[in-house]
Structure 1
Amino acid sequence: MSLIRNDPFFAELSDFDSFFAPIIRRPHGNKEGGNVLGGHSSLFRPSLDVKEVDNGYLAQLNLPGLKKEDVDISLDKGVLNVKAAQKQENIQDNKGWHIRERHFGEFSRSWGVPPELTHEDIKASLNDGVLSLNYPKKEAEGAKKVTIN
């Protein structure tokens, strides 16, 4: 059985992809998986959406297959950080694979939030592979007047 790429645009770039794939994958520890240019990066980097809602913000990341125990969320000086690891199943041999495109490995996503935000302000949930983070809008405290005695 022969395999055909789904996107003919990237088929022309297969030689380029084959040349650069080991260079790009090596630092990230992923020597197997999808093509670098073929629409499937070997790097695990989930999509992120941040939307302003009535009372704050809603951030969502696609984390299919992850459990809440696999995800670490932290807040540091106005930067919200999400880290997780998608563990690869133990494969004893590489025989029999026709297509192998699922992503495995660690990732980290960070973005700015209101600097007045505290970790108690953030509400997180993980449902159907989507991590949702709700946090309020916080107004920066303006300059405060100092009275001269």
Structure 2
Amino acid sequence: MSTLVKTNGLPSFRSMMEDFWNTDKFFDKPLFTGEQLPAVNIRETKHNFELEVAAPGFKKEDFKISTENGLMTISAETSKEQKEETENYTRKEFSKTAFTRSFKLPENVEEEKIKASYKDGLLVVDLKKSDKVLPAKKEVKVD
């Protein structure tokens, strides 16, 4: 299962310290923006890989899943707006939530047969394995 790679996008302590001492980066990008990536579980069975993405607060229409050059990208975006007007004031609140996660697909995944479903805050992506047997080892002859 080592061919599926996930990244959490969170800064390491070292990069935060480097950003702190580099004033251009420190003032250009806040250290803690409140952005968080959804948790992902990856399970492998005999016939498929299954990704579970914990993403409550979205609708199935908010998700976009695409593949290109062996890389699968899952992204979602939602926004909410609330407006209250009275005689003396207008209050408008809005929020936007978005994320993007990318995964390197194993060579034995059939990209055209990827399926996804979303229910109760959980996005489940089913990656069917190919029936073709991949060679365990390949040697290249040097001329």
Q: Same fold (TM over 0.5)?
A: yes
Q: Give the aligned partner of residue 60 of structure 1.
A: 52
How much does 1:21 deviate?
9.8
Extract structure 1 runs of 4+ deviating beyond 4 A. 139-143
Which structure has greater strand proportion? 2
Q: Give the aligned partner of residue 11 of structure 2.
A: none
Normalised to the residue count of structure 1, the TM-score between the two structures is: 0.56
Map 1:17-56 → 2, pairs under 5 A:
23-24=29-30, 36=32, 42-56=34-48
Q: Which amino acid aligns with 2:30?
A: I
How much does 1:120 deviate?
2.6
Q: Report if the CA contact (8 A) 2:110-2:127 is conserved.
A: no
Structure 2, unaligned runs of 5 or more:
1-25, 84-90, 139-143
The 3 A distance-change label for structure 1 pair 76 and 140 is farther
Map 1:1-149 → 2, pairs under 5 A:
23-24=29-30, 36=32, 42-90=34-82, 92-93=91-92, 104-115=96-107, 117-138=109-130, 139=132, 141-142=134-135
Query: Once the two structures are aligned, what percentage of the paired residues are identical?
Result: 26
Q: Report if the CA contact (8 A) 1:47-1:62 is conserved.
A: yes
Number of aligned residue pairs: 103
SS at match of 1:43: coil
User: How well do the aligned residues superpose, as a CA RMSD in angstroms?
Assistant: 3.0
The 3 A distance-change label for structure 1 pair 140 and 85 is farther
How much does 1:129 deviate?
0.8
Mapped partners of 1:66, 1:58: distance in 2:
20
How much does 1:131 deviate?
0.3
Q: Give the aligned partner of residue 141 of structure 2.
A: none
How much does 1:86 deviate?
2.7
Structure 1, unaligned runs of 5 or more:
1-19, 26-35, 95-102, 144-149
The 3 A distance-change label for structure 1 pair 104 and 45 is farther
